[in-house]
Amino acid sequence: MSAIAPPAMPNRTPGRLRTAIMSIVGSLGSAAICVAITVALLATLPATNQETERPYSYGEKVHLVLKTTYDRVIRPRSPAARAGYRNWILTLQSATPILLTGLAVAAAFRANVLNIGTQGQYVLGAIAAAAIGIYIPAARWLLIPLLLAGAMAAGALFAGIAATLERWRNVPVVLSTLLLNFVALEFLRYMLQGPMRAVGEDGRPLDPQSTELAEFARLPQFFSDVPRQGLHLGFVIAVAAALVLWFILRKTTFGFRLRVVGQNPVAARFAGMNAARVSFATLALSGALAGLAGGVQIAGTTYVLYPDVGTDGLGFTGIAVALLARLSPIGVIFSAIFFGLLKTAFVALQESPLEIHSNAAQAVQGLLVIAVLIVSSPQWRRLVGHVMRRDRAAAA
């Protein structure tokens, strides 16, 4: 008798490639919609031509918004040029912390853990990084890794409070993480008005802020020798974190369990997976990434712990970044750079003939975040899919 050949395994590569392409196309489509909404909203703001002393028309404002953004933010320039080259550095600097908070949200949401407390975990990471960088004497090769590790540990432990409350007291994560943001903000105020408050040369306390980090406690920077003017190592760390998270989600047993628990926790329990343990570990991982964002921001950009760290909204922006990327770690990289471009563009528009104030730009960005949430919602995708299927059926 001839041996029976085993059935051929199905080739899943085309399906995975199609899914990846659709994800990229969907993210680019969402970004295009966001850009159109942003330009349309910015063009509605009042602006007057200083030469002719007449208000700009809507079409003129749209043209000026697009021209200013391209000339001063997107267009490549030589390193000697102030606009363009320097703005690209600012863009990547702005993208770094929201890249990490976006990864924190993406990791949690993939497991259906609604971590809304990335802002608080980011603040705790910033406090831990500042404390280690200021008060622990060590060589640079040891202090910077210790500073970043401390920031990650602080964020993970703070997120662990919410995980503990859910496991032993059935407190919803979405509620506990949201309320813990206020705890982190008040703790920051206490530290800056008490133990960590900087003192001037005359012995009097300065405005609520910490002592500036020493040079050996700061992240190395590139393309400039002037402090805060170059691209610091934090951007490379953030991109590496995205690649590591992608590997964890796609190539490890823990990542498989995380995705299964997020898609169907009941099936995961029947398969012998401990859904509560996976959720606990996922929330700790998410908090560690958010804490790392705070550490990178302190050691790479500000060098000082300010009260504004608690109100800059980077943790909440990470939610929009993750949803725009459809919870893909690789997509979060491009989504974060897109939001960094927006921030740099708002600064350029404030110095343009339109003179759009930064507060107005922040309001537009808030509306943009709402638009991202709408575009990324399952109901919106189902509606778009229904309309496309109906159009194809009508065309056939």
Do 148 and 313 touch, CB atoms closer than 8 A? no
Of residues 265 and 82, the one with the higher pLDDT is 265
Do 118 and 344 touch, CB atoms closer than 8 A? no
Amino acid 354: pLDDT: 78
pTM confidence score: 0.84
Alpha helices in the chain (DSSP H): 13-42, 58-69, 85-110, 118-135, 140-169, 173-193, 234-251, 253-263, 265-270, 275-297, 314-324, 329-350, 358-375, 378-395
pLDDT tens string 172-196? 999 999 999 999 999 999 999 988 8
Of residues 63 and 160, the one with the higher pLDDT is 160
Give the pLDDT mean for 114-130: 94
Give the pLDDT mean for 98-123: 94
Report CA dihedral (101, 105, 106, 109) to the nearest 10 degrees. 180
pLDDT tens string 243-277? 999 999 999 999 999 988 888 888 888 888 888 88
- Domains recognised in the chain with CATH numbers: 54-385 (1.10.3470.10)
Mean pLDDT rounded to a whole number for the chain: 83
Position 1 confidence tier, pLDDT thresholds 50, 70, 90: very low
Checking if the pLDDT of 46 tops 90, the result is no
Percent of the chain with pLDDT over 90: 34
Do 154 and 126 touch, CB atoms closer than 8 A? no
Give the pLDDT mean for 348-368: 75
Checking if the pLDDT of 373 tops 70, the result is no
Amino acid 83: pLDDT: 54
Burial profile 344-365: b = 16 or more Cβ within 10 angstroms, e = fewer: bbbbbbbebbbebeeebbeebb
pLDDT tens string 182-236? 999 999 999 999 888 888 777 777 788 898 898 888 999 887 777 777 789 999 9
Return d(Cα 314, Cα 289) in angstroms, integer: 13
Which candidate, 84, 35, 88, places its Cα nearest to that of 62? Answer: 35
Classified as helix, coil or strand, 221 is strand
Of residues 95 and 56, the one with the higher pLDDT is 95
Position 36 confidence tier, pLDDT thresholds 50, 70, 90: confident
Amino acid 384: pLDDT: 60
Percent of the chain with pLDDT over 70: 82
Amino acid 288: pLDDT: 96
Position 377 confidence tier, pLDDT thresholds 50, 70, 90: low
The β-bridge relationship of strands 54-55 and 231-232 is unpaired
Amino acid 78: pLDDT: 58
Give the pLDDT mean for 288-292: 96
Checking if the pLDDT of 240 tops 60, the result is yes
Checking if the pLDDT of 120 tops 70, the result is yes
Q: What are phi and psi of 154, to 5 degrees?
A: -65, -45
